[in-house]
Every structure is written in structure tokens, then in C-alpha cells.
Structure 1
Amino acid sequence: MSSFYEPSDLRTLLIEPSLVQSKVMICYLAELGITHVTRVDTAKAALELLIPLDDKSPNLVMSALYLADMTGIDLLNQLRNEESTQNLAFILISSETRPQVLEPVRQLGACAILPKPFTSELLNQALMITLDYLSVDHSLDQHEIDLEFVRVLVVDDSRAARNYMRKVLENMGIRNISEAENGHAGKLLLEENTFDLLITDYNMPEMDGKELVEYVRTQSWQSHIPILMVSSEKDYGRLAAVEQAGVSGICDKPFEPAMVKSLLERVLSSH
């Protein structure tokens, strides 16, 4: 059964050292219908509220990048390593634009990276992605896709990214999910098991996503399996090479669950 989150369902923990910035953010959130907001100024204070997590705890964390006691990335890493908070919705707010700084956030399964300063429109977009991530949507059942029997292989060297993807898939009604931590491990699973869909990262050790796609399309007995590439790769030349290798679709990290659903609907309905 589907269960959709509304803005009023969000219990938000805002981690922002600046009181002025916090007030601005809380006003923006209120305009969008989010009134359950708790503000703290350090990661330590946030962790005390989040661990252990219960039914009354925040279900969304919005954090600045630079805090007095650790970075927002360090905080997210701690949350992902704790079982009760590993799937907690997280939005990073930062003026940082350097890819090498933001890459860990993409790999740790953040719902969005919100630039600072931001507009109400950008905030709303990040929150819509978060609502999609939290919501259970079984509408794929309406497209003659028997989700109970859909077998998916997720290949990514980031455990947090695999957990994020697993939650998105499970919210869509898919339960038969296998995982591999790199392309080589994924190749071995493909040799021994039948899958209906392969979802893979691009940058991985031992065998990257492009090499895995090329193996599947040219050597695997499952050469026609639909393949989704989910990656933070920004080199368009390399992504073009992946498209030519035969992927069915490419999503950015952080990705929008609605986009993944659309791609799933397209590739699964055609097979």
C-alpha cells in the first residue's frame, strides 16, 4: 500500500551555527508548510537528539557544512554508520562548490545538496526529493509489473549509497535486491544468478561501471538486462562512452527517486 509524506509530516532538525541564518531558514520552511523544526548549532547536540532514533525523532536533518565540532559530512558519515539512522533523510546546505569536497556527500546518500544562499524554489525542490525518498509508492504495480518477482542487482562501492538505493527500491515495492561492492563482485553475481535489472555506480575499484556495462553487453549470458547508471561522474565524455556501451538510463548522485521510478517504469515495462 502506498503512503505519501506531506510537508507537514516532516520533523526537521536544523543544524546551523548562525542564529540569523537559522531564523531565515525556519521562515522559509514555514512558508512551505514545515513547522516542526528543532534547531541546534553543533553536531554533538544533533547526535544526542538522533541516536537512538524513535518514532518521535526528526525524520529529516538539514545541516550546514562547517560546524564548530565537525563538518556536516562527518556528521552524515556517523549517521550512516549507525543502524537506526542509516536511512535518515539528509540535506546538506553549503556555499561549497568544489566537487572533491562534496563528493563524499553524494556517496553517503544525501537527498540533496542545497546551495547557500538558496531560493525558496531550490529549497522546495530539495524538500520534494526528500518527500519522495520517504514516501512508499507502489504505483508501478499499475503497469503490469509484478514487483514481487522483480530481481535487482545494485553495484556500488559505497555501502551508504547501496542502502539509499535499497530504501528507494523497497519503497517502490521491490524486495528481491542483491548487492555487490564493485564491478568484479557484480560480474560474479551476474554469472550465477538471473536478474531483471542492474543498477550500478560508475567509479568503483577493481572493475568500474563502464567496464561492467561492457562485460554485460558483450560477454554475459544476460546481455539484454536493463542497466541504470547512478553516478556523481561529471565528465560528459566518459558518460557518453557509458551511454554508447549500452545503459538504459543515467541518474545523478544525489538522485531523485521520481526519476529512478520513471526509468524503472520504462525499462521494466519494455521487457
Structure 2
Amino acid sequence: MALKDMLEIAVVDDTAVSRGLLVNALEEIGIRHIEIFKNGEEALDHLKKRPRHLVISDQNMPKLDGLGLLEGLRGYEPTSKMGFVLVTGKSDATLIERGRKFHMNNYLEKPIDAPKMKKCIEDIVGSLD
């Protein structure tokens, strides 16, 4: 069985269109175990109860932004080693540096497509096929 058939991913974004684009890219590369959260606060609550292999989170969200979610996950032992990808409209050095401080595994710059998504994930977990 290929890794893509087993991988469980949480998508966190407050915008329906962005969530849809992220999920479509994941499905296009063959990932089927996807859970969607509408904000960082909701995601943190659920992920503490049931960790996933990887979180793909937008940075700009109300209540708890992407880096706040990352910090919360890293500060809780059962979720501290989960893979984490930050999605941002533009990568600025300060943002990436802050993410690396909390051991962000990778980041994606919008717009997102399936080949970029696949490479980003494979850089973290290895070949999906």
C-alpha cells in the first residue's frame, strides 16, 4: 500500500474557496484521508484529541493563526511531532523564520496546485507512491 493511501491530513483554512483548492490538490495526488477545520482554534482542539500525520494550515485566520496553531501543537506532547505545512499568500523571511522557530516542516506559497503540493509533502514524508 502506498503512503498516500494511509496518510491522514488536516486542512485548516477559514476561507471555503482556499479549503476547496487545498483539498482538490490533495485529492488530485491521491490523498483520501482529509479532515477540514475552519480555524486554528477548532483544529487545535480536535488535533489534541486525535492527532493526524500532517497539518496544512493557512497563516491568516481569525481566532488562532497558522503559527499560533503550530505553537499550540508543538507545546502538547502527543501532537508535538506532527508534520506541519504553513500556507501563505507571500513568503516573507520573518514569517518563515518564526515558523522554523516552532519546527515548521515546510511552507507553500499561494496559488497552490497539485505538483507543488505533492513536492511539499514528499519533502516531509518521502515518496507518496
TM beyond 0.5: yes
* Percent identical residues: 26
Q: Larger radius of gyration, structure 1 or 2? A: 1
Report the CA distance between 1:262 and its aligned residue.
Answer: 1.0
Aligned with residue 96 of structure 2, among 239, 242, 246 = 239
Distance 2:28 2:95 in 1: 31
* Paired residue total: 127
Q: C-alpha distance in 2, partners of 1:256/1:174?
A: 14
Q: Contact (CA 8 Å) 2:29, 2:114: kept in 1 or not?
A: no
CA distance in 2, matches of 1:148, 1:229: 22
| Matched ranges for 1:252-263 at <5 A | 252-263=109-120
- Of 161, 184, 191, the residue aligned with 2:48 is 191
Cross-structure match for 2:84: 227
1:49-68 paired onto structure 2 within 5 Å: none
User: Which residue number in structure 2 is paired with residue 217 of structure 1?
Assistant: 74
Paired amino acid for 2:72: Y
Equivalent residue of 1:238, what SS?
A: helix
| Alignment partner, residue 38 of structure 2 | 181
TM-score by length of 2: 0.89
Structure 1 pair 175–166 and aligned structure 2 pair: CA distance change class (3 A): same
How much has 1:218 moved relative to structure 2?
1.7
Which TM-score applies when normalising by structure 1?
Answer: 0.44
- How far has the Cα of 1:217 moved from its partner? 1.2
C-alpha separation between the residues in 2 aligned to 1:214 and 1:220?
12
Correspondence 1:57-96 to 2 at 5 A? none
Secondary structure in structure 1 of the residue aligned to 2:64: coil
194, 203, 217: which is aligned to 2:60?
Answer: 203
Gaps of 5+ in 2: none
Q: 2:22 pairs with 135, 156, 165, which one?
A: 165
Please tell me the residue identity of whatever aligns with 1:204.
M
Give the Cα separation in 1 of the matches to 2:68 and 2:10: 16
Contact 1:154 1:180 in 2 (8 A): yes
Q: For 1:221, what is the secondary structure of its paired residue?
A: helix
Amino acid aligned to 1:165: L
Provide closer, same or farther for how the CA distance between residues 233 and 204 of structure 1 changes in structure 2, counting only shifts above 3 A.
Answer: farther
Q: Structure 1 residue 154: deviation in Å? A: 0.3
Listed one character per residue, the Cα deviations across residues 67-118 of structure 1 (whole Å, up to 9, x for unaligned) are xxxxxxxxxxxxxxxxxxxxxxxxxxxxxxxxxxxxxxxxxxxxxxxxxxxx
Where does structure 1 lack aligned partners over 5 or more consecutive residues? 1-143
